[in-house]
Structures are given as C-alpha cells and as structure tokens.
Structure 1
Amino acid sequence: MSSNAALRLDATTPATAAVETGSHRCCDLALDMLVTQRGDASAEVERLLTDDPGCVFGHCLRAALIVRAESAASRSALAASIAAIEAACSDKNDPMRQHALAARAWLEGDSAHAAKLYGAILTNRPHDVLALAVAHALDFHLGRRRVMRDRIAKVLRRWTAAVPGYASVLAMYAFALEENGQYRRAEKIARRALALDQGHPGAIHVIAHVMEMQGRVHDGLAFLAAVESAWGEGTGLSVHLAWHRALFHLDADDPDGALAIYDEQIATAVSADIASLADGSALLWRFQLQDIDVGERWRSLADRWAMHNLAGARPFYLVHAMMAFVASGRPIAAMRLAEALESTRGNGASSLSPEDALVAPLCEALLAFARRDYTACVEWLKRVRHIAHRCGGSVAQCDVIHLTLTEAALRARQARFARTLVAERTARKPASRLNRLLKLRLGTLPRYHQWQAPVVA
C-alpha cells in the first residue's frame, strides 16, 4: 500500500486499489504537485495518461486540474476524462465516479453545483484532498469566502501531521482565514504549514497576502526575499508571488523596483497561461492609475492576450484582458470583447453570479476611463461596488476595482464621494503609503496631469 494512499481516496475501494499497481507512484507524485503547487502537475498528469490511458485516478487528476483552473480551453479533455472514469466505474458510490459527477456539473456550466458535489465527497472521505482542493478553488472563484473557510474547518479535525498532505490542507485553511480577514490566525497556521513542509508555496502565498492586507510592506519584501528559492521558479504561484512582490514595491514608493520585477518575473515568465496574463494586467493597471509611464509594456501584454481564445473564459480574466486592450489602444479588440460580453447579461442580473454580473459593468467602466470619461466610469462602478469583493479573485485582486473607482472619482472631481472612498481605504489599511497620497489629494482636488491613454472610440 502506498504511503500516500490517504492522499488519493479511500484505499479500501476496488477502484483505488487498482491504482496501487503500475501507475500509483506517478499518481502520488502528480497529486502532491497539484496540492502543493510545486512543479507542473498538468504536464505530469498528461505524461501519466500517455503511458497508461486507462489509469482512472489519472483521469480524476486531470479533471480536478481543469475544474480547479476553470479552464474553458480544456473542455474536450475534461469530457474525455469524465467518460473514461464513468466507463471504468459503474458503481455510482465509487469515489472516482463521484469525482466524475462533480466534474460533469462544472462541464455543464454549474460551478456552484460542482462545488457542492466535490464537497459532498468529503462527508464520507474527509481525507480526499483532491476533492477538497477542487471545492476550495471553486468556493474561491465563486466569492464564497465563508463557505471556503468553513468547508475546511469541518474536515480539519480529522487530519493530523501523520496524514500525507496535512501541510497543504493547513495552507488552504490559512488562505481561507486570510480572505475572511482573520489575519493573525491565518499567518500562524501558514507558518505551521511551513514548519511541516519547508518552502510550501501555498503557505508562502498566504503570508504574502496577510502582509499585503496589513500594509506590512517592508516585512513582505523581506519575507519574499528570504524564501525566494522556494517560490521564484517552478511553482504554480511563481508569477503570482512576483506580482505580490511588485505590489509591495509600489506601496513602498519604488515603481522602478516594481517594473523591474514585472520585466524579469512576469512579462518573461515561461508560463504564458491566462492567470499570468491577468497578474500582468492587474499590475500595469495600478501603474496607470498612478500616472506611471510603462512604455511599450501594455502593447506587448495585449499581444499575448490576443493569442488566447477568450470564449468561455472566466469573467475575471475577461476584465483583465480588457485592461490590456484599452490601455494599449486596441479599440477593435476592446469593442469585440465588449460585444461578446453581452451574452453574460443573460435574462437579467438577478440570474447571474456576482462574477458574471460584474464583468460587463467593469469593462464598460474601463472603456470609459480610457476615453477619460471619468464620470461615466464612476457611474458604471457605482452600480456594482456592493458586489465588487466577489470579483472572482482574492480581496487583494478585487481591490483594483476600488482603486479604479477612487481614481475616477478624484478625476471627476466628485469630492464628497472621493472622500468616502479614501476613508474606506484608509480604514482598511492605515499604513499604506498609497492611501496616504490619496488622502492628500483630497485637500483641494487640484487639476493635475491626467494619464494620456490612447483614446478608445
């Protein structure tokens, strides 16, 4: 019996027992890569399935990776893996069959039901870290922060340091705590995960988030530098942690340092996946809101976005693609994307998830900002600011909405509203240099140089 049997599923089931022969070591390696975010789990799974196309757990891993990433471009591969699992597991109570059922719910467009089904697996199998990892990711993308936290809390008592994968479960729980504003406890648990698994990328990510949310700029820079050997290359969080480092530099009034990180670790990343592009857009948009010239970087980033088929992509990514298109002066690409977003409106906003309901107004606001119509930008963002925290990203990522609204209100000279927004930001993060600068600008709301963005017709 593999020592990592508890990591997979219940090792007493016939389906899992089959994994013990032939490909079980590859399965264990791929699963470890998936939950720790070390290495390229997707590539490992594809190698596994090439060597052993009938490996049922390999198909569960592939399905989990696709659903967790909500990769619309991989829908055909997901459908093939679901079919393979269903053909091999006729018993509906088989845990792998349950994984297939949950993945099919996502494939059919119901992320919430998929999260429910993955979560249901944990009722009888609290050590099924694969189901936990996917449910955790779906809860996060759906903006259900309390559910994300409480789902892990319910199974955590069944885990101990003796069970493989415990550090990854702690890292997931710590992230959920951080997203719910429980910063001290989140950092404590993340550091516990690091004590068990030195250099765990997920735990490092949590601590970076805590320091970002608390405005601990110098602590954040020192921490990321101290552990860079664990996250700088070869992890699923390498680009994203570089983004966090760049944010620290921006808030430390070091835009040159932030741009250097963008050039060295984000723009030139080997991985050109859509999540990395979103990090690039999110960073460059913050430069533009501060009137910092980024040269040709927007144009290069927009070129990379244009290489992706965005049909069916998560709204979170569509908004970040729009940032690149409007900032680089690509009116045709921007307008095509805006027209494609009409389908997200459905039959009414009430039928949409918060992330879906946000995407069209956010893109309209970005177009308005690029036209220097700051009043229109404010009006678009006002409509959805009450659900902006559920943009499909972290609290730190969703902050770009509040930043854009604040900057637009200042430029539109809406003094009273701008004061409210700056007060909100300062209350959340009083140590932030950026928030102090915004507060200073409230004094007279003087005329100042406006970002000369390419006008989008």
Structure 2
Amino acid sequence: MTTADRHGHTLTDTGAEALARYEQALDDLLFFRPEVLDHARAVLADSPRSVMGRILVAYLGVLATEEKDAAAAREAFLRFRSGLDPTRLTPRERGHTAAVTAWLDGDLHGAGRLLGDLSLAFPRDALALFAGHQHDFLTGDAQRLRDRIGGALDAWDEDDPHHGPLLGMYAFGLEESGHYEHAEQVGLAALAQHPDDVWGIHGVVHTYEMRGRFADGIRFLDARTDDWASGTLLTGHNWWHYALYALETGDTSRVLEIYDSALHHDGSAGAAMELLDAAALLWRLYLAEDVQSARWARLADAWESRRDGPYYAFNDAHAVMAYVGAGRIAQAQRLVQDRERWLATAPGVCNRAMTADIGLPVCRALIAYGQQDHDRAADLLLPVRHRLNDFGGSHAQRDAIQRTLVEAALRAGRTDLARTLLSERIQLRPICPYNWSAKARLEERLGDPARAAAARARAAAQAGA
C-alpha cells in the first residue's frame, strides 16, 4: 500500500486517509500549530506501518530538545526499524530513516549532513528542509541555516502553499547571517502569503532586534497580535522577543508583565524552551542588579523538577542561570559536577563536544559571576566568546552570555577588556541602549564624566526614541 504526496514523493505503507493526516501534520509543523503531534499520531492510527508517519513522529521527539521525549522516540523508532525491510523503502525514506536514527542516537551533525543530502536529491521535501533548518538552529550554524533553505527555494513555485513558510525560514537564516534588511524583506514576503506564519514573524522580529529598531518591533508585533500572541508553539518565544524590546526601552514593568503572563506562571508546562526563555530574560535583569527573588525561586524549582540529564548543553546553561539567580549556587555546582562525571564516560555524541567545549565553561562562568568572582567569570568566557554558536541558539539568545562577559569585565575593573568589548558591540550595534549605558559606566570608572554623560544621554535618547 503506497501513496504519493502532492510533490510526488512516495509514502510506503501509507493509506489515503493516513496520507491526508500526514499532509495536515506537515502543514501544522511548518506553521507551529500545537495539533501537529495529534495529527502525526493519527497517521499511525490509520496506517501503523507508515514509514514517513513513523519518521515524522520520531522527528517530533527530538525537535523540542526534551530528553525524555527523545528517549521515548528512540525506543519506539528502534522497535519499528527492527521489523523494517529497507529494500521496500524509497531512496527518500531510506535517507530520512538514516537521518532521524542519527539524531536519535545523539549524532546531530551526522543528521544534519544526511538531511542536507536529502534536500539535494529532493529539494521539495518540506520535512527534510524543516528538520534541517531546526537542526541548524540547535547547532548554531548560521550559514547552513541560511543556505539549506536558499539552496532549495529555486525548486519551489511561489504559489505552493508551503513556499511562504520556506521564505520565513530563509528570513531567519538571513538574519542570523547578518543580512538584516534582506531578511526583513523576505520575512515580510512570507507574511504576505500567510499572515499567521509565526516563524516568519519570528524572523522579522529578529531583524528589528539586531538593528535596534525596538519601537518598530513593538509596533510590528502589536499590529499582528491575532496572528502570533496565542495558540501556537512559538507564542511564548515571540513574547520573549517583545519583552526584549520593552527591556531596551526601559519599561521593566512591561517586561515583568510579559514574564508573568506568557513566559513562566503557575500554568506553565515546564517545557525546556519555555524555561530557557524565562531564564534568559530574568538573567538580563540580574545583570542589571534587578533582584527578582520570588520569580527566580519558582523558575529554579521548575528546572529542578525536570531532572534533566546531559542532553543539550544550551539548556544546561539556562538551568544554571536559574539556580544562580535563585541563589542556589550549590545546585548549580551539582549540575556542573554531574556533567563532568558524564564526560568521563560519555559516548561520542555531539552534546559531548558542546558540553565540554562550551557548555561547562559557560556554566562555570555563570556560577563565578553569581559568587561575585568577576575576574574568573571573564577568564572563563573570554576563550569561548567567539564560539558560543557551537552550542546552539540565536544571536539574540546568546547575547545574555555576551553581556555577562561585559558586566564581569566592568565589575572586575578590567577596563581595557571592557573598552574593547563595548567598542565591538557599539560598532556592530550602534543603536542599543544597553551598550551605551554600559559605556557610560566604563567612562565613569575611567574618570571621564563628560564622556560618561554623553554615553548616558545617548542611551536615554535611544530608549525613548
């Protein structure tokens, strides 16, 4: 029993009803709808041996960086593979089987290469492109984030219903590669096709963040509230971006309102990506000496209740932020010690290198910062500051760690380092109130009140623009 999707890709052991469910699940995936898992499972309810149905469910098990979900997905997919005759599969299905198996086994980079091979051979395979795009985000590979999609777009007709989501992905890749104006244009073109494309909205939002267009970002999100602000898998993350805008304008009350209503509250699911955004936002306030003890305590409790193992180093760093912010230094140190023990016997999975090379130095630096050992925090972050992308995330997400280095240098009295770091930041992002307020503090330390006043005035002007 085989069928073919609307792009001519054969689906082995997939009936007509299951095919319709698969197409709906794929559409849900591209538009970040919560119903995606239900529709993916419905494929298997109709056709339990559907190869692409099993592959789709397996990808869903790893994309959210949830250790327990990934373990369950691996077990289920291995059981399915044990009874699978690979000679019955199409070349595309064999490629996906290899890619998702590599990912489930912890070989992210191997999975990324295999997904790239799929996109070369089948450039209109939306699942390969989406999974590959998310892989590139999770591994911080900005060029592949851009070119994986850019290399396939020529094969797509503009009137294809999934052309718009591909443009949204491409916009994010362009932004992470520094092509901000082009990224905005491509993102807006995606939204012209599908106003509710929340990943396209996300791509445009990033361009405003990186160019310091905070007021434009707020207006953009306000004008599209009905398209992104509730009911999607990306709702919380886009609210996080809104909060970053508000933070730059100095509206801390709005930041906390967003935090309490959209990022972390009593009804929060406790998903890793949700807690990650919450920690990254509170950490920015922590660096500004804005104490949020009660919020930190609740967030640290949420991280602790997850009992995560060494699955994704980027998550570990944000758990440590929460523990340090809550004053639970011993808990943060225990996480570091657990990862150190794991490294001694860890298999050669990608997270091993992420943890050893980037994750642990960052976690140790965050702990040192919390202990007010700012010299040590700076010393730990300096060697990895140009390699932070190696453990995933976006420029906007990783900026919390870059700011920690700036603050550590300022508080340690390392004025030469602080001057260099702030010069780099200001040349790259001249419109950023944080950069100028930090510059003002540096000039005060250097004994130049006139330059400090000028920097402070510039920060205030940008915040109120």
- For normalisation by structure 2, the TM-score amounts to 0.89
Match for 1:208: what amino acid? Answer: V
Aligned to 2:427: 427
Aligned partners of 1:139 and 1:86: how far apart in 2? 29
* Matching of residue 63 in structure 1 with residue 58 in structure 2: yes
Once the two structures are TM-superposed, the CA of residue 84 in structure 1 deviates from its matched residue by 2.1
Aligned partners of 2:165 and 2:114: how far apart in 1? 21
Aligned to 1:316: 314
Contact map agreement 1:59 1:85 (CA 8 A) in 2: no
Match for 2:314: what amino acid? Answer: F
Question: Which deviations, in whole Å up to 9, do the C-alpha atoms of 1:409-428 show, x marking residues without a partner?
Answer: 11111111111111111112
* Matching of residue 267 in structure 1 with residue 264 in structure 2: yes
Match for 2:339: what amino acid? Answer: L
Gaps of 5+ in 1: 448-457
* SS of the residue 2:331 aligns to: helix
Identity %: 34
Match for 2:73: what amino acid? Answer: A
Match for 2:139: what amino acid? Answer: L
* Matching of residue 77 in structure 1 with residue 73 in structure 2: yes
* Matching of residue 393 in structure 1 with residue 398 in structure 2: no
Contact map agreement 1:302 1:324 (CA 8 A) in 2: yes
Judged with a 3 Å threshold, the aligned counterparts in structure 2 of structure 1 residues 131 and 289 are, in CA distance, closer, same or farther, namely same
Contact map agreement 2:73 2:104 (CA 8 A) in 1: no
Aligned partners of 1:382 and 1:46: how far apart in 2? 46
Once the two structures are TM-superposed, the CA of residue 354 in structure 1 deviates from its matched residue by 5.1
Once the two structures are TM-superposed, the CA of residue 382 in structure 1 deviates from its matched residue by 1.2
Alignment RMSD (CA, Å): 2.5
Aligned partners of 2:398 and 2:74: how far apart in 1? 29
Aligned to 1:247: 244
Counterparts of 1:106-125 in structure 2, within 5 Å, are 106-125=103-122
Counterparts of 1:135-146 in structure 2, within 5 Å, are 135-146=132-143
* Matching of residue 199 in structure 1 with residue 205 in structure 2: no
* Matching of residue 87 in structure 1 with residue 87 in structure 2: no
Contact map agreement 1:6 1:127 (CA 8 A) in 2: no
Aligned partners of 2:409 and 2:83: how far apart in 1? 57
Would you say how many aligned residue pairs link Structure 1 and Structure 2?
A: 440
Gaps of 5+ in 2: 448-465
Aligned partners of 2:59 and 2:435: how far apart in 1? 40
Once the two structures are TM-superposed, the CA of residue 81 in structure 1 deviates from its matched residue by 2.5
* SS of the residue 1:293 aligns to: coil
Aligned to 2:22: 27
Contact map agreement 1:85 1:97 (CA 8 A) in 2: no
Greater Cα shift, 273-282 or 193-202: 193-202
Once the two structures are TM-superposed, the CA of residue 346 in structure 1 deviates from its matched residue by 5.8
Counterparts of 1:43-192 in structure 2, within 5 Å, are 43-50=38-45, 52-74=47-69, 75-84=71-80, 87-91=83-87, 93-192=90-189
Aligned to 1:342: 340
Question: Which deviations, in whole Å up to 9, do the C-alpha atoms of 1:424-446 show, x marking residues without a partner?
Answer: 11112111111111111111228
* Matching of residue 402 in structure 1 with residue 402 in structure 2: yes
Question: Which deviations, in whole Å up to 9, do the C-alpha atoms of 1:359-385 show, x marking residues without a partner?
Answer: 111111111111111111111111211
Match for 2:274: what amino acid? Answer: S
Match for 1:159: what amino acid? Answer: W
Match for 1:113: what amino acid? Answer: G
Match for 1:45: what amino acid? Answer: A
Aligned to 2:302: 304
Aligned partners of 2:237 and 2:262: how far apart in 1? 9
Aligned partners of 1:151 and 1:355: how far apart in 2? 26
- For normalisation by structure 1, the TM-score amounts to 0.90
Match for 1:367: what amino acid? Answer: I
Aligned to 1:363: 363
Once the two structures are TM-superposed, the CA of residue 93 in structure 1 deviates from its matched residue by 4.2
Contact map agreement 2:313 2:354 (CA 8 A) in 1: no
Contact map agreement 2:293 2:325 (CA 8 A) in 1: no
Contact map agreement 1:115 1:139 (CA 8 A) in 2: yes
Once the two structures are TM-superposed, the CA of residue 99 in structure 1 deviates from its matched residue by 1.2
Once the two structures are TM-superposed, the CA of residue 55 in structure 1 deviates from its matched residue by 3.2
Match for 2:218: what amino acid? Answer: L
Aligned partners of 1:392 and 1:196: how far apart in 2? 29
Match for 1:262: what amino acid? Answer: Y
* SS of the residue 1:249 aligns to: helix
Judged with a 3 Å threshold, the aligned counterparts in structure 2 of structure 1 residues 398 and 355 are, in CA distance, closer, same or farther, namely farther
Aligned partners of 1:115 and 1:321: how far apart in 2? 26
Aligned to 1:450: none
